A and B are shown apart, each in its own frame.
Chain A
């Protein structure tokens, strides 16, 4: 279970936790744009330090952040291999001969890969900080508030937020259900770990089919319960939870914009 929830919200009393979810989402978007600019190593170092400060303020252990990198490992190695095979520029680092084939590794291959990896890691760090310091419900509420102006161009802000929050609400229930069905199928002799590919596929099918049918029934019953309690997606509603910007949110947004401006300067002016 631990693997699935590396970015899970941890309730702590820190200034980062106390920030308005809208400010956090906006700041994240601004910094993500900044990361996409070709600002060079100096720029990324700067962003890294800024995120590091936020991580320290949020009292998140760096160990946890490292754990968030793990699922990306495979992709990074894959990227490295692709780059080594395709990039043929820069100084030659290694040059050797395998069974008569000439094989060269260029410095740019390593450099380009690192360049992408560093950006990826920064992005993972930011999103992890966001999800670890913000209640899922606050996140969806933040998304809803931020999307509300786009209603004029028919973005269904409330529906999107409701969908996300129901999905978040039912993730633990569905994981529990998956375990239950898996155990039931195991006790009937279905093997999820070993066996031939065809056996594995049929094992997965034996899991997915009941999971789907139960989930559809759940959805139906949930819709009934919501309707019975007066819910109409397009109806007028008030909101129990209200969001309010505070001074610290302005500081955060100011910081994020400062980073973006700096990256623009580094990328295009200098």
Chain B
């Protein structure tokens, strides 16, 4: 039975990110606030989320998955508010989330801003397979908005890097 805001947070911890299902939406850092207000014998819940990339098609699905998780817990009065500012940053990703990403084969985001100097060498990204630092960027744009494509020059495997976004 959901009684407190802490219960809601626990519930949200089990909602996966649709594109990287090893991450929960809490690991991803998109949930900004949860509020619970009693209205009669039913509780009204408001969840505030922040989109990752403007065009990320997963955001609609994340809203829907939150709604389903709450409905299953017996909450009927649900509002999901999308908040643009402050803009989402990979700094909000949990340490636990970064560990899960790496175990899943995706290099986790570094805490560095995008190198906006043209042709500048990007920060060295560690291969999530063999841990080598001998890697190179293939493309700044990968299979989803949040990833860049790298290759490892030692184990020769290509891999995704979850881009630092701040």
| Chain B binds chain A | no
Binding site for B on A (CB under 8 A): none
Which positions in B face A, CB cutoff 8 Å? none
